Amino acid sequence: MEVWDEGIFVVSGIHFVVLLATVLVAPVAVSAEVDNPWLVRLRGISVVPDESSTISAIGGKATVSNSYVPELDISYFLSDRVAAEIILGVSNHDIGATGTSAGNLGLGSVWLLPPTLNLQYHFAPEGKFRPYLGAGVNLTLFFNVEPGAANSIDYDAAFGFSGQGGADIALNEEWALNLDIKKLFLSTKATIAALGTTVTADVDLHPYIIGVGFARRF
């Protein structure tokens, strides 16, 4: 995939999530009156794939490394207890295949852009300890693919669902410590050209995203 095409896909993914957020949030936001409705969080996250796969022709299974990156998310409170959260960040992963008929293969690396929109319920918005649960949708885009031992690799964009749990722990009236864990349910199809043949791999990524950071209410 050319860099120009990748850029189009990245921008399209962000537009998709922003459009979806507008459709879901706007009807409620018009009638909601919440003091300081915006909440911005900056976290350090660990992206831990819980992968499984089927590789055609050569057998074996795909492996996907963990990644440790920063993440930014923006929440808008529709009421005291209900918020919509957009999650933005990218992560880089090393890809491999083990137990194939050609042995273990290094398949380079790929960057993931997984814009996600969650709708959250906050159980104790006025407390010092403020737990929440959320669920939503995700669109994962793959870019800057390095094929490693392969001649080329192409990954299909993946649409899936997300679940979330976490808590904000108040430090003062504006700042809080945030603990968060998400699970993304998503799959992709990889088309791999290598060793004079083309094979496909159906990969369930299903990553856990575990984060710690700070939150500020506006």
CATH number of the domain at 174, please: 2.40.160.20
Kindly report, residue by residue over 152-188, the tens digit of the pLDDT.
999 999 999 999 999 999 999 899 999 999 999 999 9
Choice among 93-102, 115-124, 128-137, 184-193 with the minimum mean pLDDT: 93-102
Question: Region 183-201: what's the mean pLDDT?
Answer: 90
Gap between the Cα atoms of 58 and 38, Å rounded: 50
Q: Are 62 and 18 in contact (CB under 8 A)?
A: no
User: In Å, what is the CA distance from 50 to each residue of 44, 69, 133, 171?
Assistant: 19, 18, 21, 34
> Half-sphere exposure of residue 97, counting CA atoms within 13 Å on the CB side?
28
Question: Region 15-23: what's the mean pLDDT?
Answer: 52
Which residues make beta-bridge pairs with 87?
73, 116
Q: How many domains does the chain have?
A: 1
Kindly report, residue by residue over 30-60, the tens digit of the pLDDT.
445 788 999 999 999 999 999 999 888 788 8
Q: Return the pLDDT at 65.
A: 97
Kindly report, residue by residue over 54-79, the tens digit of the pLDDT.
888 788 888 999 999 999 999 999 99
Q: Are 145 and 154 in contact (CB under 8 A)?
A: yes
Q: Are 178 and 164 in contact (CB under 8 A)?
A: no
* Whole-number percent of the chain with pLDDT over 70: 85
Gap between the Cα atoms of 105 and 1, Å rounded: 21
User: In Å, what is the CA distance from 118 to each residue of 20, 58, 104, 137?
Assistant: 11, 38, 38, 7
Handedness of CA 194, 198, 199, 200 (dihedral sign): positive
Instruction: Look up the domain containing 156 and give its range.
Output: 3-217
Q: Return the pLDDT at 31.
A: 42
| pLDDT tops 50 at residue 95 | yes
